[in-house]
Structure 1
């Protein structure tokens, strides 16, 4: 299992690493931990566990050498311009409007048309659930594929959850990472779910508790991935799209796609948009589709996910009023952490140019206070983040919610172990959804 975890971290971090050299990772994993070997923590905040640090986190060093302290000083000193923690922001509604408009401007969200028409490709029952395989065509790229799950024989509109799959250094797969639709699973997905989700398909588990759960492929994963046949031959590294389900071909494609991220990011920036902006645009269409269903109560909508799914949760929760409850797993820190220690562990999908001087990363999740009830779940030995900065992010969000008089609507919990969304964490997440989407206290 640890070899798989190391491979995951080496390829794509959070939302996707993929940019680091092997030497750093040899240090990072000198004392690997297994999530199966670690006891679960009770809900709520816990004391910090031990952490293996890379050389870039040692005192007096930074990822960019002597330039680190200077770069960090650019966003330190005064609080960010649109931080609700600043004394001049006294009126909550005025701050929400101003900060939300600035955040939307920085995302540079592309216009991608109206809500697309949905095709039901298949409908069947499995493991106590009614499952629909859906697709829709956006104005660009191949059709988006998605899986929708709900309890079999469910009566009346149910609360809905938009489920975000992780990055995992694996762009070949998307929706299948957190769902299970038959006993016949791809062996790589069986391993993936065992390594990061304690063997569970968490979208199935929460659907069984009385939710309609929609899991779409993200850009550019699975059905939305970049096909090799559509890029110039000199960029294909001798690969092609034949026999796509073969594990060796999948691994080769994922290596190629990880190296291709900087090309995609630069092209998106040159087009006047951002990767987070594209994420949000496509995820919002999925949310439109979920909320339009007759079996969904559009007044009770949540979202959540691990890692890259946690990142998408932050952006969606900060931007769309329809999300009233969210669970961000394994993706919460500060911009300073990325400046000095951890940018190499993260994908190009993370960054919003110019935003750090206006909002710290956790403050994005606080943009909808008090209408949003967010839960943040962290792992104490998560090598994608610095523990002290994860705790600082918790303090920042706690201060935002306290100032808004909504401290009870925010919670952050720390669990022992590495990057994961295991069963104890899932239990806390599902109870949180029940509390705020079903009123179960």
Structure 2
């Protein structure tokens, strides 16, 4: 039992946890913890009996609602022949379902600090949106760089860790918080991938996502009966960070319900805030706004799907460790994913990969892990076939690529090289 809590957080927290896991988390939080850090847990065990579903006998019925028919706004549907006409209609439909809130114009950016580290010029930035605490961000570019450079909007992961955000994929000094050190070793081959691609000649912006790090929900801001006896004191202590992350996982269904009740969606809020970060990046005098890419692992992959699919300013997109079909989520894997992933009614109009496919013919790379327990391999492959069909019909087969790497959920060094080479091909050519 000693690894139960970590195992569950690993399974359900790589990209988040749904409401079904809330009670489990509560019980696992009371399991006595070992004195030393346990060994990293494996990915979720694959479901090998495809005759069963995670919602029991209701699974086949739910899957049948859209089974064996092409969604209404899919470019694979015979009624759509011209890519421009399809994109306009399908994107408008998706935007209606996302219910993106209006959060104003380009935010005013505050430069908090500037310094150099490991050959990079680093800026610590902040901007205030109309709600919540300020968004903190880190910008990196090669030291002594001049002129307008291509740029990357880099998305951090979820990882079951809302206490941190931008810090998960950056490195700004020789010392790291132990939680970040463990995180980067586990998912990124001990590399800060935002730093690594900045060294290739990019301006890279990493902003905290909605509900992460500077944007997280503080315990002092919610009613006492929801705090589970926790508070915001000693925030940097690893044990307090673990406790906060368990609390934040349990709070996801509360936030999702409240957002739905407000007439918006979690992906819609993500997209609204990520577009403000993109506004900030495009407005910089050292950025060539015609050469901007985006990418991220896991929860960052979700954000890449929506940002890459919706915003044409993203000229190159790389989705890492988040690609499957709605069928996979219905029958097998919704329990491993966050409330941040879902937009009601969209499956009637677009399969999940087709959201990213809305960017066709703009270049797109999808990186998968063969043993990734967050998805079934068959549906990852089905997603590849769907996206390949979209790009083929758009006359842009060479602009799409999908690769399957060995191993579990990660963005390791070989995957990083492939992603960075893809960005170089399309943003530096």
Deviations 1:405-432 (A, max 9, x none): 1000000000111000000000000000
User: Counterpart of 1:430?
Assistant: 420
Residue 249 (1) aligns with residue 240 (2): yes
TM-score normalised according to structure 2 size: 0.93
1:123 and 1:70 mapped to 2: Cα distance? 56
2:272 and 2:396 mapped to 1: Cα distance? 29
**Residues 289 and 113 of structure 1: CA distance in aligned 2, closer, same or farther (over 3 Å):** same
Give 1:9 shift: 2.1
Select 1:410's aligned residue among 400, 425, 429: 400
Residue 383 (1) aligns with residue 370 (2): no
User: Counterpart of 1:72?
Assistant: 63
Q: Is the 8 A contact 2:17 2:252 kept in 1?
A: no
Q: Structure 1 stretches of 5 or more lacking a match?
A: 24-30, 35-50
Q: Where do residues 133-144 of structure 1 align in structure 2 (5 Å cutoff)?
A: 133-144=124-135
Select 1:343's aligned residue among 305, 315, 334: 334
Q: Where do residues 12-411 of structure 1 align in structure 2 (5 Å cutoff)?
A: 12-15=13-16, 19-20=20-21, 21=24, 52-54=45-47, 57-370=48-361, 372-411=362-401
Q: Is the 8 A contact 2:17 2:335 kept in 1?
A: no
Give 1:53 shift: 1.8
* Secondary structure of 2:235's aligned partner: coil
1:354 and 1:118 mapped to 2: Cα distance? 36
Give 1:168 shift: 0.3
Q: Is the 8 A contact 2:295 2:317 kept in 1?
A: yes
1:406 and 1:338 mapped to 2: Cα distance? 29
Give 1:142 shift: 0.2
Question: Could you list the runs of 4 or more consecutive aligned residues of structure 1 that deviate by over 3 angstroms after TM superposition?
Answer: 2-8, 15-23, 31-34
**Residues 76 and 194 of structure 1: CA distance in aligned 2, closer, same or farther (over 3 Å):** same
* Secondary structure of 2:57's aligned partner: helix
Deviations 1:356-389 (A, max 9, x none): 010000001110211x211000001101000000
Give 1:237 shift: 0.1
Q: Is the 8 A contact 2:18 2:252 kept in 1?
A: no
User: Counterpart of 2:10?
Assistant: 9
2:239 and 2:269 mapped to 1: Cα distance? 30
User: Counterpart of 1:41?
Assistant: none
1:263 and 1:235 mapped to 2: Cα distance? 10
Q: Is the 8 A contact 2:297 2:321 kept in 1?
A: yes
Deviations 1:288-324 (A, max 9, x none): 0000000000000000000000010000001101001
Q: Is the 8 A contact 2:271 2:303 kept in 1?
A: yes
Deviations 1:212-268 (A, max 9, x none): 000000000000000000100000000000110000100000000000000000000
The root-mean-square deviation of aligned C-alpha atoms, in Å, is: 1.9
Q: Is the 8 A contact 1:9 1:18 kept in 2?
A: no
2:4 and 2:121 mapped to 1: Cα distance? 35
Q: Is the 8 A contact 1:16 1:168 kept in 2?
A: no
Q: Is the 8 A contact 2:150 2:427 kept in 1?
A: yes
2:118 and 2:385 mapped to 1: Cα distance? 41
2:117 and 2:293 mapped to 1: Cα distance? 23
Q: Is the 8 A contact 1:335 1:361 kept in 2?
A: yes
Deviations 1:173-210 (A, max 9, x none): 00000000001210110110000000000000000000
1:340 and 1:11 mapped to 2: Cα distance? 16
